[in-house]
Structure 1
Amino acid sequence: MKIETEYIKLDSFLKAENIVASGGEAKIIIAEGEVRVNGEVETRRGRKLRPGDRVEAGGETLVVE
C-alpha cells in the first residue's frame, strides 16, 4: 500500500488493506499477537508504519510504500 503521509498507524493500515473489517477487529488481532511488523510481534495498534515496513497478518505479508 502506498501512503501519502509520513506514516500510517498499524490499525488503520490493516483496515485499509482489508485484513480486518473494523478497528475493533484490528485491536483484537493486534492484542492477541497475531500481527508482526518487520518480523517482530507488535501489540501496539498505534504503531507508526513508515515506507519500507513489512506487516504480516492474516497469512499475508504487506509492504508499506
Structure 2
Amino acid sequence: MEKDLFLKTQYITLGQFLKIAGIIDSGGRAKWFLQENKVLVNDELEARRGRKLRAGDKVVVPDAGTFLMRSKQQEK
C-alpha cells in the first residue's frame, strides 16, 4: 500500500524524508541507514542522503513501505 507524504516546500532531501517518515530517529543516522539498506527512488537504487525528493517521486523502503511525494496542491 502506498502512503502519501505531503511536502510543505518544493523538495526535501532523502535524509529528511527518512526522519519525517519515522524510519530513522535522527538525521545523523541517514548515511548509515542508506549504506546498510536498499532504498529505491523512482525504481532506482539511491544511497545519497542529499537526493532531492519532489512531488511525484516514489520512494520504496523495504519493511517500511512505499511513499508517494505530493505537494500541498495535490491534496484530495
Q: What CA distance in whole angstroms lies between the structure 1 residues aligned with 2:8 and 2:27?
A: 21
Match of 2:26 among 22, 26, 29: 22
CA-to-partner distance for each residue in 1:7-50, whole Å, 9 max, x for gaps?
10000011001011112322112123521101111011000000
Identity %: 46
What stretches of structure 1 move > 2 A for 4+ residues in a row? none
Length-normalised TM-score, structure 1: 0.87
Q: How does 1:34-49 map to 2 (within 5 A)?
A: 34-49=38-53
- Structure with bigger strand share is 2
Output the CA distance in 2 between the equivalents of 1:64 and 1:15: 14
CA distance in 1, matches of 2:67, 2:40: 10
User: How does the TM-score come out when normalised to structure 2?
Assistant: 0.76
Aligned residues: 65
Structure 1, gaps ≥5 residues long? none
The answer for the alignment partner of 1:64 in structure 2 is: 69
For 2:69, give the aligned amino acid: V
